[in-house]
A and B are shown apart, each in its own frame.
Chain A
Amino acid sequence: QVQLQESGPGLVKPSETLSLTCTVSGGSINNYYWSWIRQPPGKGLEWIGYIYYSGSTNYNPSLKSRVTISVDTSNNHFSLKLTSVTAADTAVYYCARHGKEWGFDYWGQGTLVTVSS
């Protein structure tokens, strides 16, 4: 059974960089797309971006200038960096596995990141 687990600081100061890692267990990171999705308190899901196992990436245009997603296939994890954060970036951040056609079949439990001084 594939499992995803997000890890990283739960509190980030304004203007600093949010960094999260998603560790994949029970399956290989190869041959899939891996996304970061976030959900501000009381709001809907927002796709942040994805990385293919080969390293190619694509980002939500609204966040593209601040986002970097990377993958470490040797250690079966991928990571998110979001720079210059503000209070508007406070959200539960999820990592998830998907394909182009079959949707998101495995999700992490989510981690709350609060941006505050």
Chain B
Amino acid sequence: GENVEQHPSTLSVQEGDSAVIKCTYSDSASNYFPWYKQELGKRPQLIIDIRSNVGEKKDQRIAVTLNKTAKHFSLHITETQPEDSAVYFCAARYNAGNMLTFGGGTRLMVKP
């Protein structure tokens, strides 16, 4: 089955700096890659997703890039703010109807 590894497990940045979280996946046939944000004590929420036919997608300060050859995808957050502090999860899906496989999560701390 699919295996998703996420790095780093913790990340601390200064407010205003950029943050990058990277995930690698094992199944080259995976075609959908979402990112979820989970604030402390809250539910995970989808923040951005990308499909395998797209190399990059942006939404304001967040962007996701996909490298199918290397089988990795990354979340980029620019101009970080304290409210970006949360745990971020990546995931991969082999095919519509297949389950999502999640990475282990990255705790991002943005220091004011």
Are both chains from one complex?
no
**Residues of chain B at the chain A interface (Cβ within 8 Å):** none
